[in-house]
Amino acid sequence: MSFALYVLLDSFAPVMSNETLEQGLKRAFHTDNRFSIEVDRLPFVNRDTLILRWDSWSSRISYEEGDYVKEDSIEIAKVLKERLNNPERFDRRIRLVFNNDPEREYTNEMILIQDYFRVIPGSVIVDVQQNEIVRYGS
């Protein structure tokens, strides 16, 4: 079963884009010769997404910003099990979608991807299916 995490970003988080994410992720995983990254445009949205691949498994990552992200952050805060203070300050986010891994062959890669995003200042990582805060950024 696939799952998604949101990395909510406030004004303390650095300036980001899909391009800066692509560069940073390439640097982070440059020693793994199974890793590749490509840019893809989904047919039903007008923005790019990054596809991170290890062998046959992949994860999609996309940077999003704007009023709809702020409104979504406010709605997410209403259902979280833990309080999220001032959710309106989150008008940017990174959406992480991890594809199904029934054999659990790529658990380490999932953890490494999450670890990459855990250190972003001004961020909160939210599991939107479980309605839980996974981690506050540094």
- 107 pLDDT above the threshold of 60: yes
- In percent, the amount of the chain with pLDDT more than 70 equals 98
Q: What is the pLDDT of residue 81?
A: 80
Instruction: Give the chain's radius of gyration (CA, Å).
Output: 15
- Each domain of the chain, given as residue ranges in start order, spans 3-136
- 94 pLDDT above the threshold of 70: yes
Question: How does pLDDT run across 19-41, given as a tens digit for each residue?
Answer: 999 999 999 999 999 999 999 98
Q: What are the structure tokens assigned to 13, written together?
A: 């988080």
C-alpha pair distances (Å), 9 with each of 49, 54, 77, 104? 18, 27, 14, 29
Q: What is the pLDDT of residue 113?
A: 95
Q: What is the pLDDT of residue 2?
A: 87
Question: How does pLDDT run across 50-79, given as a tens digit for each residue?
Answer: 999 999 999 999 999 999 999 999 999 999
- 138 pLDDT above the threshold of 70: no
CA 31 centroid distance within chain: 21
Q: Considering only the C-alpha atoms of the chain, give the largest distance between any 2 of them, rounded to a whole number of Å.
A: 42
Q: Which CATH class is domain 3-136?
A: alpha beta
Identify the band that residue 137 occupies on the pLDDT scale cut at 50, 70 and 90. Answer: low
Q: What is the pLDDT of residue 44?
A: 81
* pTM of the entire predicted model: 0.91
CB count, 10 Å around CB of 15?
Answer: 7
